[in-house]
Amino acid sequence: MKTLLVMGIGNILLKDEGVGVYCMQALEKKSWPENVSFVEAGIFTHDILCLFEGFGHLLILDAVKGGGKPGTLYRLDEQDLAQKDKKYTSLHEIGIADSLKMAELLGRKTILTVLGIEPEEICWETGLSRTLEKAFPGFVEFAEREIKIILKSC
């Protein structure tokens, strides 16, 4: 069993919505142990069960609307996403939650962590807004620290 799958989610054609994909691509270029894998899931999250099968931990990188200022960083776990009274939303979390439930029913429990950044602009354009361009290195560092924490806990 591999330890960690880092999944970049988002649509790179919708400006800041693609930040998770960009972050995953930046992290993938770094040196990691063999038990860490990377995948770009784009916006296809309704049936990703096959992508994370065999991994103990799934780390999602995505744009997250949590009500903070653009560039605000968020760390969410399954409990955070399940609580209806919280304001964290990802366009993709419903498909991911469904896939995790399917895996659990099949006896394959995968731990989920979502790292997100508050978007500024979601519109038909490639690249990141100026605010997210400035915040992007911090998002990559945030994700890199989380990966190291996950690896130490295994």
CATH number of 2-153: 3.40.50.1450
pLDDT higher than threshold 90 for residue 38: yes
Instruction: Give the per-residue pLDDT at 104.
Output: 59
Count of H helices and E strands in the chain?
5, 5
pLDDT the model gives residue 47: 55
Residues 38-46 have a mean pLDDT of: 75
Query: Would you mind telling me the total number of residues written for the chain in this entry?
Result: 154
Stretch among 20-29, 53-62, 129-138 having the lowest mean pLDDT: 53-62
Model confidence at 36: pLDDT above 80: yes
